Amino acid sequence: MKKEKKEEAVRLVKVILESGFASRRNCEKAIMSGRVRVNNQVILDPAYRVKNEDSVSIDRNLIKRQTKRYMALYKPIGVVSTTKYLPGRRIITEFFKGVKERLFYAGRLDSESRGIMIITNDGEFANIITHPSYEILKVYDVTVNGKIDSEKLFNASKGITIKNVTYSPFKFKILSKGRVQSKIRLTINEGKNREIRKIFDHLGYKVIDLERISVGCVSKYDETSGTLEAGHIRDLTKKEIEFFFKQKDKKLKDIESIFSDVSKYDDIDENYDEYSILENNDDKKEEVKEKKHDKSKWAKAKPKKKRLVTKKTNTYKAKTQKKNNTSKDFIDKKFEKKIDKKQIKRKDDRKKSFKDNNTQRKPVKKFNKKRI
């Protein structure tokens, strides 16, 4: 009976938040300021537990509890899976404007892909769908450019790591294979960010179209309502809702089964001596240490690496040769300078003689040309 009462009780913040009054922080501020009352009593604790029978009011106005809704939406291409306003972009909220409850999505899709999304206002239900520990399968139809190599895809289906991110194994079925494009059906139990696109990009293929066909037992093909078209929404049936909650019960039973067989661990030996075991372990450690130091049989000194030594020029002969070479060069330069001075004098003498000869010549008569 105690467990049932705990499940019925809900935090006060959650009750106000689900009503659509404000964001979580503003709801907490309203509670701390003394604006919220439960059964006509002011409560300042946002974690206060509220039952279904209790009445909650803000500024003396009663809050109506939300009824839990479970819906399936077929998201078309070009729509962003978010509830926030984005200028110039299409959002999921445009498909359920007539619904009074404050809804959110459980498991998103890229704007470039299309398919089924589950929408609800129950956080527990959304956690069952999104968390990989519950192993709820999601089926996708992927069309890829070119002819796909089945061996590469088979190796990737066992599990693959791309840029330090590990992706869990998956199942696949090749529906069609051609030169231009091929179609594959994948079943995955997790939904990491752009997982399928990254896997095929790593294999060398480009994803042309990506469609999510089903999430668990919810698919776009339904017997009663027919096929769910793009941009349409429908309520889930009781069987579909029960299917997801049964997955939670299975997980709890698996955890209980681990602790149910405690009798296996009760059989203990009465003649159990800790000291004898510790002594044996110490003897083994000493033997290992002795083996480590006995390296005479197999260990040999490694040969030293030969160094690359250049020829030394600091010897006595090399120094004397340098001095002799420098002295010869110095003498040759002086001799060249003397020769250059003699040549310059000869050129100057020739110039003077040439000028003297020109001065002795008779001047040329100038005459004015008459205009005709």
Q: Hey, which residues are catalytic here?
A: 110
Q: Return the closest-CA partner of residue 58 out of 29, 90, 93.
A: 29
Q: Return the closest-CA partner of residue 200 out of 158, 152, 159.
A: 152
Q: Return the closest-CA partner of residue 231 out of 28, 31, 91.
A: 91
Residue at token pair 């999304």: 117
From CA 247, how far away is CA 63, in angstroms rounded? 33
Phi then psi dihedrals of residue 84, to 5 deg:
-85, 155
Q: Report strand pairing: 79-80 vs 90-91.
A: parallel
Q: How far is CA 248 from CA 67, 192, 258, in A?
A: 21, 21, 16
